Structure 1
Amino acid sequence: MFCRSNIYKYLAFSFILSSLFGTIIYFNLTNRHQAIIKSFVFEKLGISDKEWKINHKKETYVMTSPQFLIDGIYKSMEGPKSSNYIQLTNDSSLVWVTGFHVKAIDNKSLQKISNDFVCHTNIDFNDAHYYGSFNLNDRIGKQYPRMTSLSHGLENFSFPKGYGIPMKGNEYLYVTTEALNHNFPKANFWLRHRISIDYNHDKKTKPLLSKTAFIMLPYNKYNPYKSPLDPGKNQCIPVETKNHSYDDGKGNMLSGHWVIPTGKNTYSSSINQQLSIKDSLRLHAAAIHVHPFATKISLMDKTSDKCIFTCKITNHKKGIGIDKMESFSSEKGVWLYASHDYKIELEVNNTSNTEQDMMGSMFLFFYDRELDEILNKKLIN
Structure 2
Amino acid sequence: MRRTKIYKILALLLLLSIVGGLIWYAQLSTRHKTIVKTTFLHKTGLVDNDWKVENHSKEYKMLSPTFIVDGIYKSMEGPKASNYVMLSQDSTLLWITGFKVVAQEAKTGEKMSNDFICHMNVDMNDSKYYSTFGLEDRIGKQYPRLTSLSHGMETFEFPEGYGVPIKGNDFLYVTTQTLNHNIKKAYYKVKHKVSITYQEDKNIKPLMSKTAFIMLPYDKHDPYKSPTDPGADFCIPVETKNHSYDDGSGNKLSGHWVIPTGKNTYRSNINQQLEIKDSLRLHAAAIHVHPFATRIMLFNKTTQKPVFVSNVTNHQNSIGLTNIENFSSKEGIWLYENQEYEIVLDVNNTSKENQDMMGSMFLFFYDKEMEAIVNAKVY
TM-score range, shorter chain: over 0.9
- For 2:375, give the aligned amino acid: N
Q: Distance in 1 between matches of 2:144 and 2:358?
A: 19
Aligned partners of 1:360 and 1:234: how far apart in 2?
A: 17
Deviations 1:337-366 (A, max 9, x none): 000000000000000000000000000000
- Partner of 1:358 in structure 2? 357
Give the Cα–Cα distance (whole angstroms) in 2 for the partners of residues 264 and 289 of structure 1: 19
Q: Is the deviation greater in 7-16 or in 161-170?
A: 7-16
Contact preservation (8 Å) 1:234, 1:268: no
Matched, 1:109 2:108: yes
2:50 matched residue in structure 1:
51
User: The residue matched to 1:119 in structure 2 has which SS?
Assistant: strand
Partner of 1:7, secondary structure, is: helix
* 2:200 paired residue number: 201
TM-score scaled to structure 2, two decimals? 0.98
Q: For 2:312 and 2:371, how far apart are their aligned partners in 1?
A: 34
Tell me if structure 1 keeps the 8 A contact 2:284–2:328: yes
Distance (Å, rounded) in 2 between the aligned partners of 1:83 and 1:131 = 23
Seen in structure 2, the aligned counterparts of structure 1 residues 247 and 228 have a Cα distance that, compared at 3 Å, is farther
TM-score by length of 1: 0.98
**Amino acid corresponding to residue 183 of structure 2 in structure 1:** F
State the shift of 1:228 in Å.
5.8
User: Partner amino acid for 2:191?
Assistant: R
- Cα offset, 1:318, TM superposition: 1.0
Whether contact under 8 Å (2:119, 2:151) holds in the other structure is yes
**What is the CA deviation profile of residues 223-252 of structure 1, one whole-angstrom value per residue up to 9, with x for unaligned ones?**
000136542654200000000000000111
Q: Deviations over 1:268-304 (max 9, x none)?
A: 0000000000110000000000000000000000011
Mark the CA change 1:68 to 1:139 in structure 2 (over 3 Å): closer, same or farther: same
Aligned to 2:331: 332
Query: 2:215 is matched with which residue?
Result: 216
Aligned counterparts of 1:100 and 1:203: Cα–Cα separation in 2: 20
Contact 2:218 2:252 in 1 (8 A): yes
1:12 maps to 11
**SS of alignment partner, residue 251 of structure 1:** coil
Query: Given that residues 125 and 146 in structure 1 are in contact (C-alpha distance below 8 angstroms), is that contact kept between their aligned partners in structure 2?
Result: yes
Report the alpha carbon displacement of residue 144 of structure 1 after superposing the two structures with TM: 1.0
Mapping 1:90-239, distance limit 5 Å: 90-227=89-226, 229-231=228-230, 234-239=233-238
Which amino acid in structure 1 is aligned with residue 141 of structure 2?
A: K
CA shift, 1:66, in A, is: 0.3
In structure 1, what is the Cα distance between the partners aligned to 2:44 and 2:158?
Answer: 42
Q: Following TM superposition, by how much is the alpha carbon of 1:137 offset from its aligned partner in structure 2, in angstroms?
A: 0.3
Stretches of structure 1 lacking an aligned partner (at least 5 in a row) = none
Whether the aligned pair in 1 keeps the contact of 2:295 and 2:310 (CA below 8 Å) is yes
In 2, the alpha carbon distance for the partners of 1:268 and 1:334 equals 21
Unmatched runs of 5 consecutive residues or more in structure 2: none
**Number of equivalenced pairs:** 379
**Matches of 1:264 and 1:104 in 2, distance apart?**
31
CA contact (8 A) 1:228 1:236 kept: no
Q: 1:265 to 1:233 in 2, by over 3 A?
A: farther
Check whether the contact 1:86–1:173 (CA below 8 A) recurs between aligned residues.
Answer: yes
- Using the alignment, how far apart are the partners of 1:378 and 1:244 within structure 2? 38
2:249 corresponding residue in structure 1: 250
Residue 289 of structure 1 corresponds to 288
Code of the residue aligned with 1:13 in structure 2: it is L
Q: Which amino acid aligns with 1:17?
A: L
> What amino acid does structure 2 have at the position aligned with 1:335?
W
Superimposed CA distance per residue, residues 42-75 of structure 1 (whole angstroms, 9 cap, x where no aligned partner)? 1232211111011212110010000000010111
One-letter amino acid of the structure 1 residue matched with residue 139 of structure 2: I
The two structures, once aligned, show a CA RMSD in angstroms of 1.2
Code of the residue aligned with 1:277 in structure 2: it is I
C-alpha deviation, 1:117, in angstroms: 0.2
CA distance in 1, matches of 2:297, 2:108: 40
Distance 1:336 1:228, change over 3 A: farther
- Structure 1 stretch displaced more, 256-265 or 103-112: 103-112
Cα separation, 2, equivalents of 1:281 and 1:230: 38
Match of 1:89 in 2: 88
